[in-house]
Amino acid sequence: MDLSGVRALVVDDEESIRFVYRTFLESKGAVVTLADDFDEAVKYLNDKSFDIIFTDIYLNQNKGTDILDYTKKQGIDSPVIIITGQPDIDSAAEAVRLGAFDYLTKPVKKEKFLSVSKFAFDFKQLNEMNKKNEAERDNYRKNLDIIFKTVKEGILTVDRNFKIIEANSALKKICSTAENIRGNDFREFSGNCRKKCIELLKNALEKNEECEEIKIECFKNNLPGQTVLASASPLPDNTGALLVLRDVSNIVKMESEIKKHSFSKYMVGSSEKMLKVFELISLLSETDTTVLITGESGTGKELAAKFLHSNGIRSSNNLVAINCSAFSENLLESELFGHVKGAFTGAYKDKPGRFLNAHNGTLFLDEIGDISPQIQIKLLRFLQEMEFEPVGSDKTLKVDVRVIAATNKNLKEKVENNEFREDLYYRLNVVNIELPPLRERKDDIIPLFEHFKTEFNSKMGKRIKFISNEAVEILYNYNWPGNIREFKHSIEHAFVLCQGDIITPEYLPRDIITNSIKDTNNDLNEKRLILETLKKTNWNKAKASRILGISRQTLYRKMKKFILE
């Protein structure tokens, strides 16, 4: 047997005995330290660490059990082996009671001595490994506890009998359960709801099925209002199931409110893309963050700015708007910062600028992508310091203004082409609201029609109630390059011509009808070409995209559009 590197302490008041024990141990590679009494042993124990400790039961004024007791009090984990020349049941019992690893009687055989030494050393290593693993498990457990406490989702695991293995505080809050529910049957805590979660767990346990984010209305305590997204999946080896609940009641309520108020004087829409825009505006309503609104011409950027201001904390103060592309550089500087009398020819009196007029309110800078480099520098300074000097004045004015900017230009591209300052771009683009073009939100065509129907009936004194299916189809098939602005003009055109109570295709602008047919034909031709190419390549999408001259991502998008997947 090998004891190489094992550190051993031998305590005995007889030198010859110490020598023999050292010889035994060193023959197998152990490193041995000798002590002749309790005090010397304590000195070594305080200075060194040992893998094994051998001590005689009697040590002059002390006993070997004193050594054993000392190691326990000091937290020394080395196995202690008691050796005695006068064995008796009482001393053996006391040694074991105090935690001795083993108890040997003299004369000790070499094989027995070494065998016990090896066994004690292996025990110490195993004990250290277990403690290390236990510490790792404790850390892992602590980390899990931290994660469980901090995540907002409710997390629950059950065994195959629905006994709760783990449940975090979020789960207890969502399900209104008691604090200590581990070990209980989860079904007992679901009596006041619709028990949809139990069905998901049952499928996970019995059918080994996973489900992801099923929307459930809880009707907890027979009251509506709580909605959760529930996911369930079986645990490894089908030993149980995992349930994750995300409370989306506030989001559902927000969506409901958005849908309820979407027919507002500012923005209209209930499509998924517009709901995301409304949600973002709601999130920004309680902040003063600078916002950049982007989107094609006619998508309603100014309306979005008005919507953002009216829902914000500055809504009781002014919203001041300016179209930056409508002024020359000099005039724009005067419009923004104001000027003093005599600053330039025609400046007959002091004039406050838009920044001063917007104090404590909101300034909307439309078409921000068209401002000159000189105005960019001055605007950057204002955004950094919230102060400026009117044209012709050296007096610095400080204002409190929220800035919302908008553009239909690609500012990122203008930055790359050195046409727009990068530092100004990042100052403006703290949060970006991107308005989708109408062709990407055609679900909003009917809501938009209903909105404009109310407006034009009131404006023109008409009583139009409906739009025919044929007219709706034309509106859907057209791609609307002018977006909402073009759509509004087209509906207004139809209202002017219509003398009855229903809008039919004959009242729509002729170019809308013509281009709608072209767009439809183009889609049909494109669909036919893609389908033929896919068939020729045996539906090899990489090869088909090369033949068509488009990327695979574009091909996948068009396949989805034409339902060719």
Cα–Cα distance for residue pair 438/471, rounded to 1 Å: 17
Distance between CA 41 and CA 157 in Å, rounded?
A: 53
268: phi > 0 → left, psi -120 to 50 → alpha, else beta; which? beta
> Which CATH number does 151-247 carry?
3.30.450.20
Q: Report the pLDDT value the prediction gives residue 564, as an integer from 0 to 100.
A: 61
Q: Which CATH number is correct for 7-129, 3.40.1380.20, 3.40.630.30, 3.40.50.2300, 3.40.50.720?
A: 3.40.50.2300
Q: Yes or no: is domain 255-436 CATH 3.40.640.10? A: no
Handedness of CA 35, 40, 44, 45 (dihedral sign): positive
Output the 3-class SS for 394-409.
Answer: CCCEECCCEEEEEECC
Alpha-carbon span 126 to 484, nearest angstrom: 75
Q: Look at the block and give the residue holding tokens 């094994």.
A: 52
Per domain, the residue ranges of the chain are 7-129, 151-247, 255-436, 439-559
By DSSP bridging, strand 338-339 and strand 387-388 are: unpaired
Which residue in the block uniquely carries the two structure tokens 């767009």? 519
Residue 383, CA atoms < 13 Å, CB-side half-sphere:
23
Q: Do domains 151-247 and 255-436 have the same CATH topology?
A: no
CATH number, domain 439-559: 1.10.8.60
CA dihedral 88, 93, 96, 97 (to 10 degrees): -150
CA distance 71 to 48: 12
Q: pLDDT per position in the chain (565 positions), as tens?
A: 788 889 999 998 877 778 778 888 998 999 999 998 999 999 999 998 999 999 988 887 888 888 988 998 888 888 999 887 665 545 555 666 677 888 787 767 788 888 889 888 888 887 777 666 665 656 655 655 655 555 667 888 899 998 988 888 777 777 776 667 788 888 876 555 667 788 888 888 888 888 877 877 776 655 556 788 888 898 887 789 988 887 777 656 555 554 444 445 678 887 888 888 887 887 787 788 899 999 999 999 999 999 999 888 898 999 999 999 999 998 999 999 999 988 888 888 899 999 999 999 999 999 999 999 999 999 999 999 999 999 999 899 999 999 999 999 999 999 999 999 999 999 999 999 999 999 989 889 999 999 999 999 999 999 999 999 888 888 988 999 999 999 999 999 999 999 999 999 999 998 898 887 666 666 666 677 677 778 878 888 877 777 666 777 677 777 876 666 5
Does the pTM surpass 0.75? The reply is no
Q: What are phi and psi of 339, to 5 degrees?
A: -150, 165
